[in-house]
Structure 1
Amino acid sequence: MTAIGYTTSVPSPARATRAVARRATRLRLTVRGRRVLAVLAALPAIIALSAAVLGGGAALASRDAGAAAGSFSTVTVAPGDTLWSIAEEVAPGHDPRDVVDGIVRLNGLDSVLVQSGQNLAIPAAYDSDH
């Protein structure tokens, strides 16, 4: 009679762990996956910026009555006039920098550039010297 031997091979726990580690692969993102991840990462900044842009104008608009009628006079800008020259003309006894600042604030100007024919309000505190 012939004897046939039968043995089972059970891998050791260390060998099984190495085999699983070899099979585990790194996460690989496709180009589309990277784009989706970038959009998701930037989404809070996009939302905050959108809210600031859409809601930022509300802070500028107000329903205040504005300056009282007697608190200023008006001057029409002539060709070649600047805020500095107007300030020196309407308030010769004051520092022109302060007068220009008062005119800019009262008129809500974005810059110190003025156009010929533009009407400017002059604070009454400076116009009284004229």
Structure 2
Amino acid sequence: MQIAQISIKLSVAFVLIALTGGCNKDEINPQQAILGKWENFYSGNGEYRPPYDKPGGYWNFLTDSVLVEYDLTTNRTNTRKYWIDTLLNIGTPGGSISYYTVKFYADTMELNIENRTAINYVSKWKRVN
């Protein structure tokens, strides 16, 4: 009788875990994951390309929803606002907004541009801090 009760309790526990999705420690909070300095190492359309020899610049996502872009070829910086809902949204001072689907991996992120036609619609970035 006790074995049957234990079996039923285990079955109920398994069903509850399955229905609630369990506890997923691997979920990534994009608002936190994006923070920091990123170096672009790939721009293209998904095809294989060797990584860049030298980075052209960096993006630094700050906690106050400010994106600071560093262009190493001109030694200039640009700031823009960003926010994340279902997409990564980056607004320019002139009012246009670029929308990206963002995917995070161990120390890299992949951005896929969503709202316009682009020559290179996939960019990959590695964390540098």
Is the pair's TM-score, using the shorter chain for normalization, greater than 0.5?
A: no
More strand by share: 2
Please, what TM-score do these two structures have when normalized by structure 2?
0.29
More helix by share: 1
Kindly name which structure, 1 or 2, has the bigger radius of gyration based on alpha carbons: 1
Q: Which has the higher contact order (CA 8 A, sep 6+)?
A: 1
